[in-house]
Structure 1
Amino acid sequence: MTQTLKMLTVAAALSLGGAAFAQSQPVIGLITKTETNPFFVKMKEGAAEEAKKLGAKLLTGAGKTDGDNAGQVTAMENMIAAGAKTILITPSDSKAIIPAIKKARDKGVLVIALDSPTDPVDGTDALFATDNYKAGVLIGQYAKASLAGKPAKIVTLDLFPGHPVGAQRHNGFLQGLGLQSFDAKNNELAKPAEVACMADSFGDQAKGQTAMENCLQKAPDVNVVYTINEPAAAGAYNALKKAGKDKNVLIVSVDGGCQGIKDVGAGKIAATSQQYPLKMASMGVAAGVEYAKSGKKPSGYTDTGVTLIAAKAVAGVDSKDVKTGTDLCWGNK
């Protein structure tokens, strides 16, 4: 064999080896509701970190806004065309996404919901998420203890109608307050007499502020505000401060992001239920790599944890302080 032929043979072997590696490298897609919400930014970080550690290729995509189902469907189709055998998704529209997920699963793609379940829940192979009903219950219990027997006059700044996460947090909050509510499986929003105003914030600060301003017209004597997340809580606080009512209203929320915990420390939010998106994403990527190696699929619901964070502890309600919340701050693994 000539030296030139030997070199060509070695080059071909290296090329084939590289192709084999490319084929064996797990390809995993992560589709979030938006690109900009800090919660999903942290989720993306967690997925990227785990993918790098486990030697997987990560594809990412998102809807343009919360509720953009068409954008998520397109992202899913593009990822499958690019070779993704696992899709991790935080569904914007829990019902509308089902046909696209079914089509993916029929092709042998593992689909795991993160943070938000589909409707029905078994529309995906598995769900890695916070117990959102429990998260609501915790802040409801905190609000009840803080009121110390005073009647509650409540404003709720919700997500948007029909979303399971929005319903679970809202109804859990009312349950924790000891008010008439629905259970965790009901996607309707309960409205007992103590709720003076309900408005959709879409989890957005500006929309949350507008919603709170409108609710103040209906409920000027509000003393408790529940918000779907901390950006909405920041908007509610701005509206209350503008109206000179920020000192007399208790705001409780869910997420436990770094900025949200700062707002708890600054007295803007009284308490928040902290969840762990980085953990959800890293678990999802690990499950995808395992599926690529062994064909083993996860199933059912995995609770990724929730912790009540409050600047001021109240009797009878277990909570952690701002320092603990800052240390955990969405990065808990």
Structure 2
Amino acid sequence: MFGRVVSVVVGLALLATGCSAEREWGGGASPEGGVAKIGLVTKTDTNPYFVDLRADAEAAASARGAEFIALAGQFDGDNDGQVRAIENFIQQGVSTILITPNSSTGVNDALARARQTGILVIALDTATEPPDAVDATIATDNFEAGRLQGAYAKAALGDRPPKVLMIDGTAGSSVSTLRHQGFLAGMGLAEGAPEIRGTTNANGDQSLAQQGAENLLARSSDITAVHTMNEPTARGVHAALQSRGLAGQVVMASIDGGCEGVAAVKSGQIRATVMQFPDKMAQLGVDAAVEHARTGAKPGGFQDTGSVVITDQPMPGIPSQPVAWGEQHCWGER
């Protein structure tokens, strides 16, 4: 994966600068000189992105001699399931919880209870609101990823006017919100601009995205660009566009950088995807958890794990890498 050794070393240096010598401990596994006991809570255990993140975290924990337990919500948006997982981890006495929150606010009370017992809490992939609901966040800068997506789409449109559909993720998710806002910034559009012909939430799900796009296209098929929150969403939208004979006319980029998404760029289903790096999130989260168990130090703040545009149709002014590079660095099954 992309720059694994370098990124981990750099990331650890950054973590160290954000660490404090907090030694107060109210519960959970002993943080000083002990074995890290890590609980990972993902949004689902079916989305390939979170499957890969979990596998990377488990491998990193095994390599560092840490105990590792993984739980997940039953579906994207299952806040209650994630709350139950957090409470389970509190009872099991984990020393660190790594979590990809379904909602930026939906699990905050449970996270507060975990932190009150002395458990280190790190958000991966998805930031909480407020940010200090967790000790630290390790994630893609989702606004920047959305901005890159939007800037690429704008450049690819050339002289054609933007007539845009916005296929977002889960309502209340900071990932979806930031990517939405970033895309509009990259396109040079304001929220509510007349160029936005329709918006719907699809919870990152391919079937829901196809259905939502079909509903929007039934109202207006005069579309030149689509924002898709992630690659499963893009696959659903592509099916909807294809059924109306519009797939070749609409500029669609996405965000994720999974191997399936890179293959979709190669085949022309989407023009570009913005790759993110779940392996970095998992590695840095586990490293912080192990350091916390060893010394009691806690990381703080936000760490951006980076994003890269992948396309074989590069646009002036938009830094990118070709599909061949993406195939070497993508995550998930090849």
**Superposed, which structure 2 residues align to 1:118-267 within 5 Å?**
118-180=128-190, 190-267=191-268
1:279-300 alpha-carbon deviations (Å, 9 max, x no partner): 1011101100000000000000
1:263-309 alpha-carbon deviations (Å, 9 max, x no partner): 01110011111101111011101100000000000000011111011
The residue type equivalent to 2:54 in the other structure is K
Partners of 2:88 and 2:174 lie apart in 1 by 26
Partners of 2:89 and 2:172 lie apart in 1 by 27
Per the TM alignment, residue 96 of structure 1 is displaced from its structure 2 partner at its CA by 1.8
**Superposed, which structure 2 residues align to 1:1-333 within 5 Å?**
24-180=34-190, 190-330=191-331
Per the TM alignment, residue 25 of structure 1 is displaced from its structure 2 partner at its CA by 2.3
1:163-187 alpha-carbon deviations (Å, 9 max, x no partner): 211111011011011112xxxxxxx
Per the TM alignment, residue 161 of structure 1 is displaced from its structure 2 partner at its CA by 2.3
Partners of 2:298 and 2:239 lie apart in 1 by 46
Q: Which moved more, 1:240-249 or 1:129-138?
A: 240-249
**2:35/2:294 contact within 8 Å kept:** no
Per the TM alignment, residue 162 of structure 1 is displaced from its structure 2 partner at its CA by 2.4
**1:274/1:330 contact within 8 Å kept:** no
The residue type equivalent to 1:226 in the other structure is H
Per the TM alignment, residue 314 of structure 1 is displaced from its structure 2 partner at its CA by 1.3
Partners of 2:281 and 2:193 lie apart in 1 by 33
Instruction: Give the share of equivalent positions with the same residue, in percent.
Output: 45
Partners of 2:40 and 2:171 lie apart in 1 by 25
1:301-329 alpha-carbon deviations (Å, 9 max, x no partner): 01111101112111221111111111111
SS class of match (1:108): coil
Q: Which moved more, 1:111-120 or 1:79-88?
A: 79-88
Partners of 2:123 and 2:193 lie apart in 1 by 31
**1:33/1:91 contact within 8 Å kept:** yes
The residue type equivalent to 1:176 in the other structure is G
Unmatched 5+ residue regions in structure 1?
1-19, 181-189
The residue type equivalent to 2:210 in the other structure is Q
Q: Which moved more, 1:160-169 or 1:250-259?
A: 160-169
SS class of match (1:24): coil
> How many residue pairs align between the two structures?
301
Report the RMSD for the aligned CA atoms in angstroms: 1.3
Per the TM alignment, residue 122 of structure 1 is displaced from its structure 2 partner at its CA by 1.0
Unmatched 5+ residue regions in structure 2?
1-29
The residue type equivalent to 2:68 in the other structure is L
Per the TM alignment, residue 87 of structure 1 is displaced from its structure 2 partner at its CA by 0.1
Partners of 1:325 and 1:213 lie apart in 2 by 30
The residue type equivalent to 2:46 in the other structure is T
Return the TM-score normalized by structure 2: 0.88
Match of 2:24 in 1: none
Return the TM-score normalized by structure 1: 0.88
Per the TM alignment, residue 73 of structure 1 is displaced from its structure 2 partner at its CA by 0.9
Per the TM alignment, residue 330 of structure 1 is displaced from its structure 2 partner at its CA by 3.1
Q: Which moved more, 1:195-204 or 1:309-318?
A: 309-318
Partners of 1:327 and 1:41 lie apart in 2 by 19
Moved over 3 A (4+): none
Q: Which has the larger radius of gyration?
A: 1
Which structure would you say has the larger RCO, counting Cα contacts within 8 Å and 6 or more residues apart?
A: 2
Partners of 1:88 and 1:288 lie apart in 2 by 9
